[in-house]
Amino acid sequence: MFWPTKKDLKTAMEVFALFQWALSAFVIVTTVILVNLYLVVFTSYWPVTVVMLTWLAFDWKTPERGGRRFTCVRRWRLWKHYSNYFPLKIVKTKDISPNHNYILACHPHGLMAHSCFGHFATDRTDFSKIFPGITPYMLTLGAFFWVPFLREYIMSTGSCSVSQASMDFLLTQKGTGNMLVVVVGGLAECRYSLPGSTTLFLKNRQGFVRTALRHGVSLIPAYAFGEADLYKQHIFTPGSLINRFQKWFQKMVHIYPCAFYGRGFTKNSWGLLPFSQPVTTIVGEPLPLPKIENPSQEIVTKYHTLYIDALRKLFDQHKTKFGISETQELVIV
């Protein structure tokens, strides 16, 4: 009789933790829609749907007002299995004072931003011990907060909307010691997420710099070595039908549809699991910015350039530790 070993059980829990998070949006959204359609069309319990929508309208602004985090959710044992799958590691290069607020820009986005979620939306990689007195707020698309139950689940991890109103609230109404975590490249950067790639979608992403200037907060560069190596992509021939569709789709909705793949449930199989290899996020030194309520485009561009220089410096200082050639540089597009 086959009995699973401790290693088998450990691997199974890690895979479950990954699938649970990756599929939660799809499962919750589908369930909410189908259940409410059933209640409205086939039963007399339609008031349940009315109450749900009323609560949604009443609570609509919460993701832009600090969210609703639960420490117990951030400390779930499940997230430890999640981070152990790769594993994930976070390293600081400079102590960060809890007497100020910060905007941390994390690079690269990768396909799923696994390292960003693991470090800043959970506390199972010891963020609170490494950065005492700092409260991270992972900022994500506002669309994730449109669906009941899904929005509660995401907010419970300390995540908030990436809208301007949300960032302004967190930097002015929540005291000090707040770290707003933004994956600057966003979904547009997914197309560059290839093993060995060091290309970042950053040249025209200046909004986070403008916000930092308006509030006079420091910018912190962070680079996740290994994030881009977690999946492979099939690159279609330039000009082919599928390639033209990808470009059209990106132009319409600002999302690049990638044909990505990883590993399956067995070691050498094909599937949608990320490859289990280490991802280390290096958090750089804060870059102080002056407070300018209405910065001109020239000022924003100046500090955006200084930020890119700081990010390049951080990358160059650590790249050889993670198998990247001394001659390979960051490519900013």
Mean of pLDDT values over 123-137 = 95
Q: What pLDDT does residue 160 have?
A: 97
Q: What pLDDT does residue 217 have?
A: 97
Mean of pLDDT values over 309-314 = 97
Mean of pLDDT values over 302-317 = 97
Q: What pLDDT does residue 2 have?
A: 63
Query: How many C-beta neighbours within 10 Å does residue 17 have?
Result: 22
pLDDT score of 128 more than 90: yes
Q: What is the tens place of the pLDDT at every residue in 7-50?
A: 888 888 998 998 888 888 889 999 999 999 999 999 999 999 99
Q: What pLDDT does residue 52 have?
A: 93
Q: What is the tens place of the pLDDT at every residue in 174-195?
A: 999 999 999 999 888 988 999 9
> Between the CA atoms of 80, 82, 86 and 87, what dihedral angle is there, to the nearest 10 degrees?
-20
pLDDT score of 250 more than 80: no
Mean of pLDDT values over 67-78 = 95
pTM of the model: 0.92
Q: What pLDDT does residue 279 have?
A: 97
Band of residue 136 on the pLDDT scale cut at 50, 70, 90: very high
Cβ–Cβ < 8 Å for 279, 235:
no
Q: What is the tens place of the pLDDT at every residue in 316-329?
A: 999 999 999 999 99
Q: What pLDDT does residue 131 have?
A: 97
Band of residue 103 on the pLDDT scale cut at 50, 70, 90: very high
Q: What pLDDT does residue 61 have?
A: 96
pLDDT score of 165 more than 90: yes
Mean of pLDDT values over 250-277 = 81
Q: What pLDDT does residue 205 have?
A: 95
Mean of pLDDT values over 273-280 = 93
pLDDT score of 4 more than 80: no
Q: What pLDDT does residue 270 have?
A: 83
Q: What is the tens place of the pLDDT at every residue in 291-305?
A: 999 999 999 999 999
Band of residue 124 on the pLDDT scale cut at 50, 70, 90: very high
pLDDT score of 1 more than 80: no
Q: What pLDDT does residue 258 have?
A: 83
Q: What pLDDT does residue 268 have?
A: 76
Query: How many C-beta neighbours within 10 Å does residue 31 have?
Result: 13
Q: What is the tens place of the pLDDT at every residue in 202-246?
A: 999 999 999 999 999 999 999 999 999 999 988 888 888 888 888
